[in-house]
Amino acid sequence: MAELVVALAIYLTTVAAVSLYSRLYARTKDPVDYFIASRGLSGFTSAMTYAATTYSAFMMVGLVGLSYATGVGALAFELAYLVSTIAILTIFGTKVWELSRERGYVTPTQLLKDRLGSHWATAVAVALTAVALIPYSAVQMVGPASIIAGMSRGSVDYRVAVTIAFTVTLVTTLAAGVRSVAWSDAVQGLVMVSSATAFIVWLALRTPPEALSRLGDAELLSPLNRFWTPYTFFAYTTPWIFFAITNPQVFQRLYLPRSRRDYVRMVVYFSIFGLVYTVITVLAGLLARGLAELGALDLGVDLRDRSTWNRVTPALLRYAHPALAVAVAVSILAAATSTINSIVLTVASMVSYDTVVPERYRLVVGKAVVTLFSAVIYLFALSTPAFVVDLAVASSTLLLPLLPIYLLSVYGLVSRYAYVSTLAAGFSLALALTYAKGLYLPIPKEVLVATASVATYVAVALLDRAAVGRSSQ
């Protein structure tokens, strides 16, 4: 498929050109500039990198398939995430932005180090984050690479597609750090939303009005149905509504806007992007299902087999004009790489600043870690061992113990004992529940981990505070 090869070449060239151009604005020997652009990004660039980092290949592949199979409950789940993220960015994020300037934070874990006064405690959080996010990044590469390999009918091998994602990750992170990541994210975000818009317009023009009544008949317009029970809804939603706090790659983006005005713009532009992108992807799944119910499309999806739900988008692209199909496929790859490069850079910054690395080696170690993590992700994506897939699925739950730690530290409830016990209890519980397959709990494991982590942190912190108060009397 010559169109695909040309589109991939244009994509790679554009991302590389933008990344290298951004170097002209970078202070290349300054680690603060490398990791957080000296806290000097515009509202628009901050918003686009926030959106492109948050919204991964899951949207155009996973969410379209989920909407197709389960209906409008997928919108309820994804918009619950957006609503809570807007609230977090407004109430909590503004405080974090102010603190990052007052105290000179570069990484999310630096905030913890500052509050707790312990280097070793925060190094544990760095390790936990890497364990959760590196496998997640590797699995992110698999879906888009498979779609591109499938579409090309042999002209682009799966390994070539993974190599392209790896190259984009390396170029965007090494060129000028977060500046090149953010600028290339802005380009990739525009590719994501514009191709998604063209995709939904094409699909809507094909869909007759009677498709909607078929969706109603199949219980797909009700947010609760046979799939979306309250249990499933809260299992899906709980990790996502706290995503802006627990995931360091988005947390660190709160440090980037250069002024309060730019922070406001970041929140507003991100919210508009999120709303548009979410509505488009859910609508795409619903319209495709309506067309399939009418017999107008044969997508080869078995609704009883969840592993086939991700085939909806690639199967739909077979019906689209080649130019549109190629644009959507490249946008899915862009969504994946714009998430992976941010994760790699954030984890590298945490290793550089919050472990035992001496100050003068921060930049060189950061770049070495970026290269090492990118290579590990690349190798995991090529082989996808079972433990990597397990950890990727569990990543959002594994990060939930960080919720009370970040949230309550910012608001002044700080205790080293609470921190250590929450990490130990929450992470062990999350890991145990991940591997305890077949175990039925009366409440979703995600809710259990979040509740246990908050309860542990608050209880131990209050006990610690009481003990300190008693000893000082």
Interface with other proteins by CB under 8 A: which residues?
72-73, 75-76, 79-80, 82-84, 86-87, 89-91, 94, 212, 216-217, 219, 221-224, 228, 230, 233-234, 237, 241, 260-261, 263-264, 267-268, 271-272, 275, 279, 282
Q: CB of 255: closest distance to other proteins in angstroms?
A: 16
Beta-ladder partners of 257: 41
Question: For other proteins, which is the closer residue by CB, 90 or 155?
Answer: 90
What 8-state DSSP symbol labels residue 303?
T
CA 409 to chain CA centroid, Å, is 23
Q: CB of 149: closest distance to other proteins in angstroms?
A: 34
The closest alpha carbon to 70, from 280, 300, 275, 282, belongs to 282
SS3 257: strand
SS3 41: strand
SS3 357: coil
Question: For other proteins, which is the closer residue by CB, 100 or 129?
Answer: 100
Taking the C-alpha atoms of residue 259 and residue 271, their distance in angstroms, rounded to an integer, is 18
Question: For other proteins, which is the closer residue by CB, 88 or 433?
Answer: 88
Question: For other proteins, which is the closer residue by CB, 95 or 321?
Answer: 95
425's tokens: 């209890």
Opening angle at CA 243, ends 137 and 348, nearest 5? 45
Question: For other proteins, which is the closer residue by CB, 209 or 358?
Answer: 209
Query: How many helices and strands in the chain, by DSSP H and E?
Result: 21, 0
Question: For other proteins, which is the closer residue by CB, 10 or 443?
Answer: 443
Question: For other proteins, which is the closer residue by CB, 82 or 333?
Answer: 82
SS3 178: helix
C-alpha distance from residue 106 to each of 99, 115, 153, 410 (Å): 11, 14, 45, 15
Q: CB of 212: closest distance to other proteins in angstroms?
A: 7
Dihedral sign, Cα of residue 380, residue 385, residue 386, residue 387: negative
For 98, how many CA atoms within 13 A lie in the half-sphere containing its CB?
9
